Amino acid sequence: MHMVRVELPQHLRTLARVGPEISIDIPGQVTQRSIIDAIEASYPMLRGTIRDYATDRRRPFLRFYACEEDLSHELPDVPLPDAVASGAEPFLIVGALAGG
């Protein structure tokens, strides 16, 4: 079991009624998919907000960062860095900048 730290963008924190960072338990390999599966299981109100229901893909205005790397274009089942799996570094879900 891995305890993974995830930072959410402000609007998703408000929706889930949580602070800037949440901790989630991942039973198997730590990947983008397993993290989002665990987030959606623990916070059902976030279903469909990070990845699209129909395509299962990351929403285009969101990015996934960790360990100072942009992992957004990695395949969803690629293992994430050990530092994320160990909880040493958070997995960041970041909204694109916008004006207006």
What is the C-alpha to C-alpha distance for residues 68 and 49, in angstroms, rounded to an integer? 23
Burial 31-41, CB ≥16 within 10 A → b, else e? bbebbbbbbbe
* 11 exposure class (CB count in 10 Å sphere: 0-12, 13-18, 19+): exposed
- Cβ closer to another protein: 9 or 90? 9
Q: Return the SS3 of 16.
A: helix
Residue closer to another protein by CB (options 26, 46) is 46
Instruction: Provide the minimum distance between the beta carbon of 70 and another protein in the complex, in angstroms, as a whole number.
Output: 17
Q: Does 18 bind another protein (CB under 8 A)?
A: no
Task: Tell whether residue 96 is a contact of another protein (CB under 8 A).
Answer: yes
**Residue of 96, 81, 73 whose CA lies nearest to 4:** 81
* Position 84 contacts another protein (CB under 8 A): no
- Write down the least CB distance from residue 44 to another protein, Å: 8
Which residues contact another protein (rule: CB under 8 A)? 9-12, 15, 44-45, 47-50, 52-54, 59, 61-62, 95-96, 98
